[in-house]
């Protein structure tokens, strides 16, 4: 099946730093979603994007729907220890099923 390319695969950052991650596809999507998964739990939806160029915030998290409709970005400002986890992007084109990226694992160094 088609895959989304999510990068980086993992990140090690200091508490307080900002974080950026992205997701790209060779196809155009009309929906982009960002989920967070904590260890041993199911993913939880953070942000949903439905329009090219859309910029949406959820607290310290901001996500953007790329203008080309082939990418999306997630930024986390002033990271804190509870931001640790795996962040998944997901996308849908047309009436197809939603597909997920492989995730970005975020580690925060003390």
Partner 1 sequence: DGGITQSPKYLFRKEGQNVTLSCEQNLNHDAMYWYRQDPGQGLRLIYYSQIVNDFQKGDIAEGYSVSREKKESFPLTVTSAQKNPTAFYLCASSITADTDTQYFGPGTRLTVL
Site for partner 1 in 69-98 (CB under 8 A): 88, 92, 95, 97-98
Cα separation, 8 vs 40, in Å, equals 21
Residue from the set 13, 24, 31, 62 that interacts with partner 1 by CB under 8 A: 31
Residue from the set 14, 26, 41, 110 that interacts with partner 1 by CB under 8 A: 41
Strand partners of residue 105: 10, 86
User: What are the residues whose beta carbons fall under 8 Å from the beta carbon of 21, sequence distance 6 or more?
Assistant: 6, 7, 8, 11, 73, 74, 75, 87, 104
Give residues in contact with partner 1 (CB under 8 A): 1, 3, 6, 9, 31, 33, 35, 40-45, 48, 50, 88, 92, 95, 97-103
């Amino acid at each position: 099946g088609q895959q989304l390319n999510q990068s980086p695969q993992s990140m090690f950052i200091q508490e307080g730093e900002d974080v950026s991650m992205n997701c790209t596809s060779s196809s155009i999507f009309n929906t982009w979603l960002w989920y967070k998964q904590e260890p041993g739990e199911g993913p939880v939806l953070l942000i949903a994007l439905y329009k090219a160029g859309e910029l949406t915030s959820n607290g310290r998290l901001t996500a953007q729907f790329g203008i080309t409709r082939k990418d999306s970005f997630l930024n986390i400002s002033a990271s804190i220890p509870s931001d640790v986890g795996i962040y998944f992007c997901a996308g849908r084109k047309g009436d197809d099923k939603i597909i997920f990226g492989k995730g970005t694992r975020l580690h925060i160094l003390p």
